[in-house]
């Protein structure tokens, strides 16, 4: 069936002598490669193939079903942007939910916000959490924050059970829409996120690449416009080890106090003095926050079409 073909194609990403190449039907005809020093972990969980390898120039690398999820060298760009774009756009975020994000990087970034009182995370695959704690301690440090409550399960089911208006912010740090994350890109899930947010609450989701996935992005934007009656925006940033070197985010708010995502209202302490990890921000700042919403014309035409 299509699924098994996809699955085989997904696992085509193999370690050829000395190199890992990221081959996937989601980016036909191209494959980013990293030189492999050593494979550190490789097992199949109930949901996906989980691999960690030591690369020669990007530090350790986490791979799920043959797709690079993060590297030590450039994870800062993704974790900081997917977290601070929403949380710096609303005053005093208190209750935050992370869907996916099993590596703990988004938790590490959320914990920088002193106004936050409750951080829930729902990750489907315990193996990702265990592997991140073992091989990526500077990322999994996010789990040490006492405000964090971990739920192991499917984000789709979790959101269905969340009482209406619970969260100020939801961050969907999911893998790609092939495999366990498929439903996290579909309308029913977005509806359950909107219901779980308070009026004027915000959601930020991993939203693929404008170079590779305009068709997926077009559908996501159309769904979000129907569901989120506050504002709907697309932002993007550079992550060298993601396909085409960029990754995007959907930033939406529910009806209620207007959220102007392009102008952050809730500055974050960039040098990390307030945060437990004392880790300065490596990537995010308020200028790059505003710039992230500037789109190339080919994307603007589709995303901002009225
Ligand atoms: N930054 C990465 C990217 O942009 O592709 C994503 C990082 S994080 C590792 C993705 C996480 O989403 C994985 O740990 C995966 O297990 C989790 N995930 C996938 N589907 C899920 C679901 N339905 N519910 C909860 N977590 C899910």
Map residue 86 onto helix, strand or coil.
helix
Q: How confident is the prediction along the chain (306 residues), in pLDDT tens digits per residue?
A: 344 455 555 555 554 679 999 999 999 999 999 999 999 999 999 999 999 999 999 999 999 999 999 999 999 999 999 999 999 999 999 999 999 999 999 999 999 999 999 999 999 999 999 999 999 999 999 999 999 999 999 999 999 999 999 999 999 999 888 889 999 999 999 999 999 999 999 999 999 999 999 999 999 999 999 999 999 999 999 999 999 999 999 999 999 999 999 999 998 888 887 776 778 999 999 999 999 999 999 999 999 986
Residue that is written with structure tokens 């079409």 in the block: 305
Annotated active-site residue 168? The verdict is no
Q: Does the beta carbon of 173 sit less than 6 angstroms from any atom of ligand 1?
A: yes
pLDDT tens digit string along 167-193? 999 999 998 888 899 999 999 999 999
Q: Does the beta carbon of 248 sit less than 6 angstroms from any atom of ligand 1?
A: no
Put the strands of the sheet holding 49-55 in their side by side order.
Answer: 15-16, 19-22, 32-44, 49-55, 60-64, 67-71
ipTM for the complex shown: 0.97
pLDDT tens digit string along 214-228? 999 999 999 999 999
**Model confidence, pTM:** 0.94
Catalytic residue among 125, 145, 154, 173: 173
């Amino acid at each position: 069936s299509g699924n098994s073909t996809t699955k085989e194609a997904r696992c085509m990403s193999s370690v050829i002598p000395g190199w890992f190449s990221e081959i996937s039907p989601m980016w036909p005809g191209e494959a980013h490669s990293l030189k492999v020093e050593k494979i550190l972990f490789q097992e199949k969980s109930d949901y996906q193939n989980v691999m960690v390898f030591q690369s020669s120039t990007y530090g350790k690398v986490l791979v799920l079903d043959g797709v690079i999820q993060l590297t030590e060298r450039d994870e800062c760009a993704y974790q900081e942007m997917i977290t601070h774009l929403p949380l710096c756009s609303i005053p005093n975020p208190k209750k935050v939910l992370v869907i996916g994000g099993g590596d703990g990087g988004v938790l590490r970034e959320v914990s920088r916000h002193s106004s936050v009182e409750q951080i829930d995370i729902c990750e489907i695959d315990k193996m990702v959490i265990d592997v991140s704690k073992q091989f990526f301690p500077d990322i999994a440090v996010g789990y040490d924050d006492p405000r964090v409550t971990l739920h192991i399960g499917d984000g789709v089911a979790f959101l269905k059970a969340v009482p209406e208006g619970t969260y100020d912010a939801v961050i969907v740090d999911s893998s790609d829409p092939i495999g366990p994350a498929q439903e996290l890109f579909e309308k029913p899930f977005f509806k359950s996120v909107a219901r779980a947010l308070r009026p004027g609450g915000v959601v930020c989701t991993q939203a693929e690449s404008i170079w590779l996935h305009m068709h997926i992005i077009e559908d996501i934007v159309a769904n979000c416009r129907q569901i989120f009656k506050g504002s709907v925006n697309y932002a993007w940033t550079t992550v060298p080890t993601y396909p085409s070197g960029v990754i995007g985010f959907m930033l939406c708010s529910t009806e209620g106090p207007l959220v102007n995502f392009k102008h952050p209202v809730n500055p974050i302490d960039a040098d990390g003095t307030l945060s437990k990890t004392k880790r300065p921000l490596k990537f995010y700042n308020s200028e790059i926050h505003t710039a992230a919403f500037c789109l190339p014309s080919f994307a603007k035409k589709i995303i901002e079409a009225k």
